[in-house]
Amino acid sequence: MWRKVASVSGLTLVSRLFGFVRDVMMAALLGAGPLADAFMVAFRLPNHFRAIFAEGAFNAAFVPRYTKALTQDGEGAARAFADDVLSITVVTHLALLGFALMATPLVVAALAPGFTADPAQLDLTTTLTRITFPYLLFISVMTLVTGMLNAHDRFAVAASTPILLNLCMIAALVASDLFPTPAHALAVGVLVSGAAQLALVLAELKRSGLGLSLKAPRITARVKSFLTGFGPAVLGSAGVQIAMFADTILASFLPTGSVSYLYYADRLYQLPLAVVGIAIGTVLLPELSRRLARNDGAGARDRLNRALEGAWGLTLPFVALFAAAAAPTVAALFGRGAFDAQAVAGSAAALQAYALGLPAIVALRCVTPAFHASGDTATPVKALAVATLANLGLKLALIGTWAHAGLAFATSVGAWVNFGILLWLLARRDGFSADRRFLINVAGLGGATAAAVGAIRLAGDHVALARGVVPALPDLGPAVLLGLAGFAAYAVVAAPTFWLARRAGA
């Protein structure tokens, strides 16, 4: 399992490195002003719908059922099921695309109502959204193909598709002089990347000897089962996106730049989420689906224990860095060009708030597949509904005093509520029980995180002294020193803990 996770994580890390280059170029060319805010909203719209209808919900409903058909009835039955789902997906998304293109101004006004006070800002965001929205159709079909590949333990090519998104957006920024603004160039880059990503996974599907055909839609028994699971999964994904919609809606009423502050902070805390959480969740869903199909409950529980401890072990050093050194990290990565000191401070405040919820957000990528693998897509929705209410209530309560940082903090609290409910419910149905190895690791990782925060703060005092002597010290230098100090302290404490836990578990 960890070899597969390492494959997905490695490619995801490459993608994030290209994404970092992209974000540095975006920050330098767009800054955190009106142009950047317009593109962020235009980019988020198809991504919100993708997250609702494609990646999360689709995988939750499709992969376990495709894996079951493949395991029990063979490749022919699995392919017929995939063909039927493809037809329904294309028809549905073409209808959604037609509506979105006609009603774009209304959709934008609903997502960012604060923009309606500035007609020029609303018009620009509408234009950019019409360019980016067809990206949703390409990515939705790509998600189906990716699910098929993952069920056959082919993760590499699918995990590399985000690299194409970043490369296309970088190329668009390089050629931005050919467009009215850099934001227009980025929107076109997003659209082109969707077609490129779909072409890549289709080529891998053909190379793997797995076919897929577009036919007239059929509602078979398997498709009915898929739709039955897809409905609650959509509601669950929608709950997450509602919270994100709320961030964008509320931030549009805050001072200019608030939407961008949340975006750049989100990009940083998404790094461990993507490299660790999403990678583990991608591999864990088909892994648990196969084990539960064979009635191997003990094996599934063991995999979940290992996934959780591994996810936290790889994530907590980033939590320490983001919580104790948010401003130096943001300054080192984005603090140049149009991204001024105010933008650094605003993004750092959001990053610190997001860091508090990062362990829960990553752990959700492990716990939620345990429900989906058994065909239960309804329970995660119920837990998320409670968490979303807590999240939205806190957003409204904190926005007046903490501004955009209050929105990020509410997201973190909502994630912990969601994770706590799901873990409790999973334990009640005997889907999870913390073994001895897990408990030792969690205790040790808590100590390692505390050591990392202490080391970062101690190193920060020395960096401050160095800045007094050498005022022109580059921002990258202090950030690297702080990161190295934190990660070294974390490793010194965590490594013996993992060794001890493994021996105790054996």
Neighbours of 1 (CB within 10 A): 14
Helices 34-50 and 135-151: angle between axes, nearest 10 degrees: 50
Distance, in Å, from the CA atom of 142 to the CA atom of 137, rounded to the nearest integer, reads 9
**Cβ pair 246, 111 in contact under 8 A:** no
Residue linked to tokens 């345990």: 370
Query: How confident is the model at residue 502, as a pLDDT?
Result: 80
**Cβ pair 249, 262 in contact under 8 A:** no
Q: How far is CA 202 from CA 8, 121, 141, in A?
A: 18, 38, 10
Among residues 439, 502, 284, the alpha carbon closest in space to that of 372 is found at: 284
| 117 CB burial (10 A radius; 0-12, 13-18, 19+) | exposed
Distance, in Å, from the CA atom of 26 to the CA atom of 174, rounded to the nearest integer, reads 11
Distance, in Å, from the CA atom of 312 to the CA atom of 365, rounded to the nearest integer, reads 11
Distance, in Å, from the CA atom of 435 to the CA atom of 413, rounded to the nearest integer, reads 26
Query: How confident is the model at residue 244, as a pLDDT?
Result: 65
Distance, CA of 82 to chain centre:
25
pTM for this predicted structure: 0.73
Quote the radius of gyration of the chain (alpha carbons, Å).
23
Distance, in Å, from the CA atom of 46 to the CA atom of 131, rounded to the nearest integer, reads 10
Residue 74, SS3 per DSSP: coil
| 457 CB burial (10 A radius; 0-12, 13-18, 19+) | middle
Distance, in Å, from the CA atom of 201 to the CA atom of 304, rounded to the nearest integer, reads 28
**Per-residue pLDDT tens listing for the chain (506 residues):** 778 878 888 888 888 788 888 888 888 887 767 788 888 888 877 776 666 665 667 777 888 888 888 877 888 888 888 899 899 888 888 888 888 888 888 878 877 777 777 788 888 888 998 998 888 889 888 888 988 888 887 878 888 888 898 999 999 999 888 888 888 999 999 999 999 999 999 999 988 888 788 888 788 888 888 888 877 877 766 666 666 667 777 887 888 788 888 888 888 888 888 888 878 887 888 888 888 877 888 888 999 999 999 999 999 999 999 999 998 888 888 877 778 888 889 999 999 999 999 999 999 989 988 998 888 888 988 898 899 889 889 998 998 888 889 999 999 999 999 999 999 999 999 889 988 899 999 999 999 999 999 999 888 776 654 444 444 445 566 778 888 899 999 999 998 888 887 877 65
Among residues 305, 318, 367, 310, the alpha carbon closest in space to that of 498 is found at: 310
**Cβ pair 415, 383 in contact under 8 A:** no
Residues 6+ apart with CB under 8 A from 407: 246, 247, 250, 251, 262, 350, 395, 398, 399
